[in-house]
């Protein structure tokens, strides 16, 4: 099932919602439900939810190319690389030209090495990295190789970059926002993100949790 995840929901919130609603409607005590790729709470958009035997195909969906639209705000940084945490430093932006932004975006194309944010679910010594980060403890993140298929700049206004990006699985768009800020010498953080596609599956074909309950389940014959 294709879902349009609401802002501030975690991917696990969505999984739990679907599981509880299906149990309530179908009176099934044991039901496998899983998602095919995490989407941050501060991001909205497409999440693929699989149930029953379809959970065996989750890895196939996870391996598919992803597409996102969003905004990067220049002139400041945050520890989480997005708006989950407060701004920790501010930088000048007067030197930045549109040409510099376009060139910086193009430099990310192809296979790149990126460092995941310390505020991420990656496990380090048996714990999630964000658990260390939220305690203020130092954590060393290992770089990973990802692929950027396209990185289009759609609008530049008041030092806010509106973009569309297509990338491989495991790509942290927050890290790209932070890295482009470094390239421009201005700092940068992700201020908006929406996943629009996973492979051939598009968010325009997705349903909201409320639609799932009110429209799909209400017409389900069991």
Catalytic residue among 40, 82, 158, 179: 40
User: Is 40 among the catalytic positions?
Assistant: yes
SS (H, E, C) the chain: CEEEECCCCCHHHHHHHHHHHHHHHHCCCCCCEEECCCCCCCCEEEEEEEEHHHHHHHHHHHCCCEEEEEEEEECEECCCCCCCCCCCEECCCCCCCHHHHHHHHHCCCEEEEECCCCCCCCEECCEEHHHHHHCCCCCCCCCEEEEEEEEEEEEEECCEEEEEEEECCCCCHHHHHHHHHHHCCCCEEEEEEEEEEECCEEHHHCECHHHHHHHHHHHCCC
- Torsion angles phi and psi, residue 203, rounded to 5: -65, -25
Q: Which residues are catalytic?
A: 40
């Amino acid at each position: 099932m294709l879902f349009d995840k609401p802002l501030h929901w975690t991917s696990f919130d969505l999984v739990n919602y679907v599981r509880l609603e299906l149990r309530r409607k179908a009176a099934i005590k044991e039901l496998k439900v899983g998602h095919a790729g995490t989407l941050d709470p501060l991001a909205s958009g497409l999440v693929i939810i699989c149930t029953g035997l379809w959970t065996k195909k989750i890895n196939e969906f996870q391996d598919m190319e992803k597409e996102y639209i969003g905004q990067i705000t220049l002139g400041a940084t945050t520890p989480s690389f997005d708006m989950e945490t407060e701004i920790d430093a501010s930088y000048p932006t007067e030197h930045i030209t549109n040409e510099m932004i376009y060139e910086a975006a193009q430099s990310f194309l192809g296979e790149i090495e990126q460092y995941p944010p310390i505020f991420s679910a990656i496990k380090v010594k048996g714990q999630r990295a964000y658990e260390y980060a939220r305690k203020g403890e130092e954590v060393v993140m290992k770089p990973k190789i990802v692929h950027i298929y396209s990185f289009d700049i759609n609008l530049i206004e008041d030092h806010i970059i509106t973009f569309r990006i297509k990338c491989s699985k495991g790509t942290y768009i927050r890290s790209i926002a932070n890295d482009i800020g470094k390239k421009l010498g201005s700092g940068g953080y992700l201020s908006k993100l929406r996943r629009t596609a996973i492979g051939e599956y598009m968010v325009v074909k997705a349903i909201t949790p409320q639609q799932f309950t009110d429209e799909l389940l209400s017409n389900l014959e069991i």
